[in-house]
Every structure is written in C-alpha cells, then in structure tokens.
C-alpha cells in the first residue's frame, strides 16, 4: 500500500494530515468561466479532499505573472470573444514564458473552449482582428460568421478506449495541423463538425470544447489529471485509490443514453473497461 492509499483509507501512522500537496493555478477565473467551468476546480478539490490530498487553488488574473515552479496543475476555461481579446494579449505578453516552461516540463494543463483556442496559433473571430495564440497546439480556429450555426449541444467522444461527455457551445471551428486530437467524436460537433476530431493534446496539455462541467461527469479524466500532477511531483509510484463514483458514472451514462451512444461496461471499481 502506497502512502497515498494508506492516507485514503485512514491507515496511517501520522493521523489525518495529508501526505501530498498540490497547487492549482486557475487562469483568468473572472474572464473565462462559462457553462460551469468553475465546477472543474470544485471537482478536483473534492476528489483530492476525499483522498487526504491538500489542493490549494490560486487565481491568476490579467497582469499576474505565472511562475511555473509555484504550480503543479493549471486550468483555463472559456469565455466570450470580447473577453478573450485582453486575455490573449496577457497570455502573450505576461504569461507566455512561464506557461511554456510549465508545459514543456510536463505540468498537466486543462484548457476549455476559449482557453483551448488561445493555446493554438490564432483565433479568427466573426468580427474584429485575429487573436494570436501561444501556438502550443498546431491548430487554428475560424469563426465563419454570425449567420453560421454555432456548434451547440451535448457531446460524447472516445478517449483512450473510454468515453468523455460534456456540453459544447462554440462559434469557432478548430482545425488541427500536426496536433493529436483529444478524442474522436461519437455524438456532437467537436472541433469543427467536419472531421470528427475533438480537442487537442500536447505533452500533458489538453485542449477541449467540453464544458458541462467536464470533470464532475468524467471522474476518470479528473483522476488522470491528478495522477499526472502527483507523479510529476512525487514520483511514478504514486497511485490514486478508487473512490465511490456511483453518482458520477450515473450522470455520465445518462448522457450517453440521451445521445444513443453505446458505452463500455464498467468494472467493479466503477471505472469503464480499459481504465
């Protein structure tokens, strides 16, 4: 039994003090927080608390420098076009060096919708000039006009032999160059409603259009991010003990049924086969 597993079961010599501590940087919580994106932070915090892990959350707004050594995990949500412009400028001028250093050092980063678009080469809005991004993902996004239907609705994708569910609402269509997609669209629009790709991945940085919030209904993906963060900080032997995710999986599978997507049979620990 690892120290973390012992902590989760209460079988520790040191009492109730957490053995592990993580610091999450929440980028632009006031500007980029649509469709319940803050719920992703709450999900990570609770899943850590249930296991005796101390998760500290720090907000990083416009003008705040990003010191990569101070964080173990980063999150950036989505927002409207008018809110993305100052964020795009701040990303390039204030946070680019620190964010790139974190990404190249394999810090897990989750970027949703507008945050995802700004980590690619550029976002071309329906009105106004292009917003240059950081180019973390070899991808670009084009809004095809206000009269073109948005990509709205529930979505399910295949991810590493499992499924992820969420809600999407975006006018921009994202096209991948050499970047790998996060998953294959099973129902919904995904990156562009054309090529069945959804999201993008670079090292441990994940871009996606899945709001929802994403992590409460996808506990396996939340734990994937936490595992990456813990192993990066404490070593590859760290393993998360399972939680009772009955309610989380019920929400997940309800969405799959609504979308008429066949889902893998869950194992006894509540995770999908292949997890």
Do 181 and 164 meet the contact criterion of CB atoms below 8 Å apart?
no
Rg (CA), the chain: 18
197 phi, psi to nearest 5 deg: -95, 155
Quick one: which of 60, 64, 170 has its CA closest to 109?
60
DSSP single-letter state for residue 170: E
Q: What is the DSSP string of 223-267?
A: HHHHHHHHHHHH-TT--PPP---HHHHHHHHHHHHHTT---PPB-
Q: What are the b/e assignments for 111-145, b being 16+ CB within 10 Å?
A: bbbbbbbbbbbbbbbeeeeebebbebbebbbbbee
The Cα 195–Cα 39 span in angstroms is 29
Instruction: Supply the residues annotated as catalytic.
Output: 113, 211
Nearest to 113 by CA among 172, 54, 40: 172
């Amino acid at each position: 039994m690892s120290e973390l597993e012992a902590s989760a079961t209460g079988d520790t010599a040191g009492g109730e003090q957490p053995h592990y501590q993580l610091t999450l940087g929440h980028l632009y919580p006031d500007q980029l927080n649509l469709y319940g994106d803050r719920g992703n932070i709450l999900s990570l915090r609770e899943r850590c608390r249930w296991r005796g892990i101390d998760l500290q959350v720090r907000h990083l707004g416009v003008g705040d420098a990003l010191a990569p050594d101070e964080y173990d995990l980063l999150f950036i949500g989505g927002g409207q076009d008018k809110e993305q412009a100052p964020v795009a400028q701040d990303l390039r001028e204030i946070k680019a060096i620190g964010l790139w250093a974190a990404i190249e050092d394999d810090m897990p980063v989750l970027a949703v919708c507008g945050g995802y678009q700004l980590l690619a080469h550029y976002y071309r809005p329906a009105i106004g000039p292009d917003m240059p991004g950081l180019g973390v993902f070899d991808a670009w996004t084009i809004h095809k006009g206000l009269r073109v239907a948005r990509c709205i609705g529930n979505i399910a994708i295949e991810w590493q032999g499992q499924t992820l569910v969420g809600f999407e609402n975006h006018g921009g269509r994202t096209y991948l160059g050499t970047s790998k997609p996060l998953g294959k669209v099973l129902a919904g629009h995904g990156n562009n409603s054309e090529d069945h790709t959804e999201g993008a991945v670079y090292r441990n940085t994940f871009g996606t259009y899945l709001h929802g919030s994403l992590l409460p209904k996808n506990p396996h993906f939340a734990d994937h991010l936490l595992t990456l963060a813990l192993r990066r900080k404490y070593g590859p032997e760290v393993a998360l003990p399972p939680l009772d995710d009955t309610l989380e999986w019920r929400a997940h599978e309800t969405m799959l049924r609504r979308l008429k997507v066949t889902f893998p049979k869950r194992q006894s620990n509540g995770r999908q086969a292949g997890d």
